[in-house]
Amino acid sequence: MGMVDVSEKPVVLRKAQAAGKIFLSPKTLEEIKGGRIKKGNPLQVAEVAAMNAAKQTHILIPHCHQIPLDTVRMDFDVRADGIEAVCYVSAQARTGVEMEALVGVSMALNTLWDMVKYLEKDDQGQYPFTRITDIRVLKKEKQAKTD
């Protein structure tokens, strides 16, 4: 048991995209669109959280390799029932970056929840409608080895 030995694998360009969704109330979505969230712009904060998290994946997931990432980018689509988030990651590496993309999108969604939780709570302090769903890898790419 332990980390997989990737020392014999070539360093190639690797890319991954992961997505997920957070369902939010219409009121919360209007407050986001109107720029009225108490803690600031949740999409900007979630983007920074995703970048930080993706770069720290090897600390969060025990058997992941430490990969120097070339880029981490987030896209957000504010919809009528919530926000779809997509995390794009790329690196020149010996192993894939899909875990970094998954960690990035997961942290972005958790950060969105944290930024708006005061609007999502009901009278008992619960979150009856708020949920994070459909976290998945959309795409994983590996450049062919060239000799």
Partners of 137 in the beta sheet? 18
User: Across the beta sheet with 71-78, what order do the strands follow?
Assistant: 71-78, 82-93, 12-23, 131-142
φ, ψ (nearest 5 deg) of residue 113: -60, -50
Nearest to 83 by CA among 103, 112, 114, 107: 112
Question: How far apart (Å, rounded) are the C-alpha atoms in residues 141 and 59?
Answer: 23
What ranges make up the beta strands (E) of 33-130? Answer: 71-78, 82-93
Respond yes or no: is residue 77 known to be catalytic. Answer: no
- Torsion over CA: 117, 83, 133, 72 (sign): negative
Catalytic residue among 5, 75, 77, 114: 114
Question: Which residue numbers are catalytic?
Answer: 114
